[in-house]
Amino acid sequence: MATPSEERGPLAWLPRHSILGRIVHPLFEERRSLAGAMTWIGIGIIIAFLFVAVFADFLAPFDPITIVDEKDVPPWANVAVPRNQSFQAWMTKDWTNVVGATRVDAVGALSNRTGQFLNATDFPMAILRDVVDSAGFIVRLTPGETDPGQYVGVRVSWDGGRNWSSKFLVRAVGPEVRVDLTNLTSWNAAKLSRVNLNLNVTHESEASTSGNVSLDYLGATAVWRSYWHFMGSDPVGRDVLSRVLAGTRTSLAIMTIGVVVALAVGFPLGLYSGYHGGRIDKIIVLVMDSIYSFPGLLFAGLIAVLLGKGVVNIGLAVTVIYIPLYFRVTRSQVLSAREELYVEAARALGARPSRIIFKYIAINVLVAIPVIFSISAADAILTAAGLSYLGLGVSAPTPDWGLDLSGASARIDTGVWWSSFFPGLAILLLTVGLSFIGEGLNDIINPLLKKER
């Protein structure tokens, strides 16, 4: 019986012998014990993850789906990202074999008369941030195919050809010539884009000479600074922190669908089967034991193959493996509760079986459900991550911890640890939080364990 101080306390509004009161009152009373501390730590972790799931769009510094930076940027750093790209499009009437100037292979674009020009465009520089350390271009003239006295002049435009720099003369034949353009203008991502960056190459020659000039390679170069990422970027170039935050919503959605639907199916079946018994009980027990005997991840994977990918489908695939768990726990509790004196008294008074089940038995059985709910939820997180890791979960580019682990696992051997570490850490923390709640509640609510303490 509650003491007067307890009756006037913050839980005075909650009857001790109600379903919720039988959980909440011991939880507050045992908060200084190890089991109570574990439970409250777990509750704090779950509240934090729920907060992240609700406000992920506001907390994420970048779009979790969009490529926002260079791939594999380490955490807590701005890295210099070098670029060396040949052109993809051009305009000329006179130069031949222009495609030969896109790679260094001693076979170049050819001009046979002074004054002929080649306008190269569409350099796929992929500059993603307006912090450019340097810019320039590379020219290599093919030895053996460039005649004496023949060379090239290169002009640069950063606005799509509206304005041009003065000519940079390249006379060396054979070695690679790098020209620094850093001080030519204030460079940014727009000026180095596919459309705006143009290189115009004109065939030049010494006085009274003629012949061919062969352009073996023409490329644009740049060095730009990546964004600063708290958890780095993944192998695609997406922000890991944004992916982890948004993946919380995916994991919690799958977990919720899995355990809630399993509870909604397994709990009523356990009540009915445990109370009535008979042939129907034997059939249901046989079916549930058959499902329970399958390895959980393997069986969920089979269901996922049949249902297809997606949050809802994976949630339902996870549901199937937990229905037997709720059924077995509920049925065992009902088998014990149906022999109690208050149930016998209800029968003697002529109460209908349905009223006895839901009015007297279900209320007492429900107290054990939060423990099973927490433990199954923790296992559901691991199962959902495992399905995504195997390629049976949600589809890319949906933010999901298991999917990100799968995509980053091949990079661990190369020293890129962060894109797999942080999603794995999120899975670990959420699983530990749910396990703490389940184990703590079990020690607090279970009368036998409580008596032993």
Contact by Cβ (8 Å): 212, 94? no
Q: Is 65 helix (H, G, I), strand (E, B) or coil?
A: coil
Closest CA to 214 of 289, 136, 116: 116
Contact by Cβ (8 Å): 95, 87? no
* Rounded-to-integer distance, Cα 248 and Cα 216, Å: 51
Q: What H or E segment, with its residue span, contains residue 370?
A: helix 369-389
Residue 433: CB atoms within 10 Å: 24
> Between these two residues, 294 and 206, which has the higher pLDDT value?
206
Residue 370: CB atoms within 10 Å: 17
Length of the chain measured in residues = 453
Contact by Cβ (8 Å): 423, 239? no
Closest CA to 94 of 77, 110, 73: 110
- Tell me the average pLDDT across 84-89: 96
* Rounded-to-integer distance, Cα 5 and Cα 28, Å: 14
* Rounded-to-integer distance, Cα 262 and Cα 252, Å: 15
Residue 448, pLDDT score: 46
Q: What H or E segment, with its residue span, contains residue 110?
A: strand 109-111
- Condensed to tens digits (0 to 9), the pLDDT of residues 69-79 reads 999 999 999 99
* Rounded-to-integer distance, Cα 11 and Cα 384, Å: 37
Residue 89 pLDDT greater than 70, yes or no: yes
pLDDT band (50, 70, 90) for residue 300: confident
Q: How far apart are the first and last CA of the chain?
A: 20
The strand order across the sheet containing 168-170 reads 89-91, 117-121, 198-205, 150-157, 168-170
Residue 85 pLDDT greater than 90, yes or no: yes
Residue 449, pLDDT score: 44
DSSP, residue by residue, 25-57: HHHHHTTTSHHHHHHHHHHHHHHHHHHHHHSHH
* Rounded-to-integer distance, Cα 373 and Cα 300, Å: 18
pLDDT band (50, 70, 90) for residue 8: low
Mean pLDDT of the chain: 88
Domains of the chain: 10-65+232-452 (1.10.3720.10), 80-225 (2.60.120.260)
pLDDT band (50, 70, 90) for residue 441: confident
pTM over 0.75: yes
* Rounded-to-integer distance, Cα 342 and Cα 170, Å: 100
pLDDT band (50, 70, 90) for residue 181: very high
User: Pairing state of beta strands 109-111 and 213-225?
Assistant: antiparallel
